[in-house]
Amino acid sequence: MKHSLKISPLFIALTATIPAFAHADDDTSKDGFIDGSSLNLHLRNYYMNHDIHSSHLDDSKEWGQGFIAKFSSGFTPGVVGFGLDAYGMLGLKLDGGGGTDGSSILPVGSGNGKAPTDFSSGGAAFKMRAFDTELKAGDIFLTNPVIAGGETRMLPQTFQGISLTNHSFAGWMFEGGQVSFDKPYNQSGMKRLTTTYGDLGDQTSKHLTWAGASFSGLPEITSNLYAAQLKDVWNQYYYDLDYTHTLSDSVTLNPGLHFYHTQDSGKALLGDIDNNTFSLHMAVGIDGHKVTAVYQRVNGNTPFDYINQGDSVYLDNSQQYSDFNGPNERSWKLQYEYDFAGLGIPGLSSTASYSRGELDLTKADPNSIGYSNWYNPDGKNAHHWERDLGLKYVVQEGKAKNLGLTLRWATNRGNAVYQTVDHDVDEYRVIIDYPLDVF
């Protein structure tokens, strides 16, 4: 089946603000189509154990091996250069199914309930570059605060659409684009866009359009401003500001802010949405130690929502299991990180955190088209907490350089009235990554 791509007026208006070609004397295609090309292979072995503490639900345990190949060409010579990006992915089931599937790293089984023994996908994107501007059209990988492909499972999520980026001004990056389909990280084929927490039923959104700017032109300061429209669902706006101040050779301070505003738009397929969500953090680093305190707040009678399976939730208290993003939820987190390079073990790092959220589920709208499942008449004092532990080691040299092992354990517990929207779980992940540069 062929998919057609229609450009919305919002995309045209937003991308019109992106600076056009500049620096006419700069031949940005000088590397050449072949000489500038690269091929990378990423092997990822992934085990997930979703241990659900509920008598009527089965645990989800799956183990798989993923292969991700990415080819990126250079650009043909000339002021305007042309190129091609392509990818291929293969996922193999090593264990899972027959009552233990559904952890989200393998496809959901049909018929006998068992996940297939393998699944695969592939795609390509045409690209064009002129001076400091690059256009891609086709199957693309995206990472920004309003549309980011999920990277937290065995295989990554991809999108089908167009993107435009510009680096004309030092310290600035401008981008815009529109996507109409996504390939979930545990499926082979493309599908229309849905959201993580909203119930669209049989409906989907035709496309998501975005534009934004990133600034890093001042020492120690970064900032991002983005706007996005999920067709007939919402308009979403994002801003962040992050400052890292070096007090000495061993001490740093890092305050920061993330803010989202989401408002229903068009046909409002998920109903009324008027949501302001923000998080504030303060981190103190001393040698290899880092302590971070976070306060996060959702102001609105719907949860903070984002594209299904995506990583476009740039909030400080988005944890391994919970995003702490329920209606009117207030949460805080304390996190400790340590880099063992200070003890003579470079490549080894650890993290431990504790988060707690409180929310009033009586304020959620029981008649909401998309979020009525959050309503609980007894949920005025709902609360939950999460403990996250992680250990990671990356080989620093030798034939196994860049081989990485990650161990993660999350524990989430909620009181009786919070369990209407969540379950008490322990989640274990064992991930082995081995990226290879073929050429």
CB contact set of 201 (below 8 Å; sequence gap of 6+): none
Mean pLDDT in the chain? 89
Angle at 177 between CA 125 and CA 44, to 5 degrees: 50
Residue 424 is assigned to a structural domain of this protein: yes
> DSSP secondary-structure letter at 110?
-
Answer whether residue 59 shows pLDDT above 60. yes
Distances (CA, A) of 365 to 369, 372, 377: 9, 6, 10
Say if residues 94 and 109 touch (Cβ distance below 8 Å).
no
pLDDT at position 134, please? Answer: 97
> Would you place residue 95 in the very low, low, confident or very high pLDDT band (cuts 50, 70, 90)?
confident
Two tokens at 21? 């070609």
Say if residues 304 and 275 touch (Cβ distance below 8 Å).
yes
Say if residues 84 and 117 touch (Cβ distance below 8 Å).
no
pLDDT at position 52, please? Answer: 79
pLDDT digit string (tens) for 278-312? Answer: 999 999 999 999 999 999 999 999 999 999 999 99
Question: If phi over 0 gives left and psi between -120 and 50 gives alpha, with beta otherwise, what is residue 268?
Answer: left
Residue at 262: amino acid letter: T
Longest dimension (CA), the chain: 69
Q: Which of 333, 244, 347 is nearest to 288 (CA)?
A: 347
Instruction: Say how many Å lie between the first and final Cα of the chain, rounded.
Output: 34
Residue 13 is assigned to a structural domain of this protein: no
User: Domain holding 232: CATH number?
Assistant: 2.40.160.10
More confident residue, 428 or 203: 428
Domain count, the chain: 1
Answer whether residue 361 shows pLDDT above 90. yes
Residue 62 is assigned to a structural domain of this protein: yes
Residue 20 is assigned to a structural domain of this protein: no
Say if residues 432 and 44 touch (Cβ distance below 8 Å).
yes
Distance CA 181, CA 167 (A): 27
In three-state secondary structure terms, 342 is helix
pLDDT at position 60, please? Answer: 82
Q: Which of 412, 415, 437, 438 is nearest to 424 (CA)?
A: 412
Q: Look at 39-48, 152-161, 368-377, 418-427 and tell me which has the smallest mean pLDDT.
A: 418-427
pTM: 0.90
Residue at 176: amino acid letter: G
Distances (CA, A) of 71 to 74, 139, 149, 179, 270: 10, 12, 18, 21, 38
* Residue linked to tokens 């919970």: 322
pLDDT at position 21, please? Answer: 43
pLDDT at position 359, please? Answer: 95
* Residue linked to tokens 């990180």: 337
Say if residues 370 and 198 touch (Cβ distance below 8 Å).
yes
Once rounded to an integer, what is the mean pLDDT over residues 427-439?
96
pLDDT at position 200, please? Answer: 80
pLDDT at position 1, please? Answer: 40
Residue 35 is assigned to a structural domain of this protein: yes
Domain range enclosing 398 = 31-437
Once rounded to an integer, what is the mean pLDDT over residues 354-376?
93
Answer whether residue 29 shows pLDDT above 70. no
Q: Look at 106-110, 144-148, 343-347, 370-374 and tell me which has the smallest mean pLDDT.
A: 106-110
The full length of the chain comes to 439
Residue 60 is assigned to a structural domain of this protein: yes
> Would you place residue 432 in the very low, low, confident or very high pLDDT band (cuts 50, 70, 90)?
very high
Angle at 255 between CA 253 and CA 392, to 5 degrees: 70
pLDDT digit string (tens) for 373-392? Answer: 999 999 999 999 999 999 99
Q: Where are the alpha helices (DSSP H) in 132-251?
A: none
pLDDT digit string (tens) for 275-284? Answer: 999 999 999 9
Answer whether residue 6 shows pLDDT above 50. no
Residue 15 is assigned to a structural domain of this protein: no
More confident residue, 97 or 375: 375
Residue 21 is assigned to a structural domain of this protein: no
CB contact set of 420 (below 8 Å; sequence gap of 6+): 361, 376, 379
Residue at 150: amino acid letter: G
> Would you place residue 115 in the very low, low, confident or very high pLDDT band (cuts 50, 70, 90)?
confident
pLDDT digit string (tens) for 128-178? Answer: 999 899 999 999 999 999 999 989 999 999 999 999 999 999 999 999 999
Residue at 72: amino acid letter: S
How many CA atoms, within 13 angstroms, populate the side-chain half-sphere of residue 421?
A: 29
Answer whether residue 15 shows pLDDT above 50. no
Answer whether residue 211 shows pLDDT above 80. yes
Answer whether residue 28 shows pLDDT above 60. no
pLDDT digit string (tens) for 223-260? Answer: 999 999 999 999 999 999 999 999 998 999 999 999 99
> DSSP secondary-structure letter at 17?
T
Distance CA 101, CA 63 (A): 10
**Other C-beta atoms lying within 10 Å of the C-beta of residue 4:** 5
Q: Which residues pair with 59 in a beta bridge?
A: none
pLDDT at position 239, please? Answer: 98
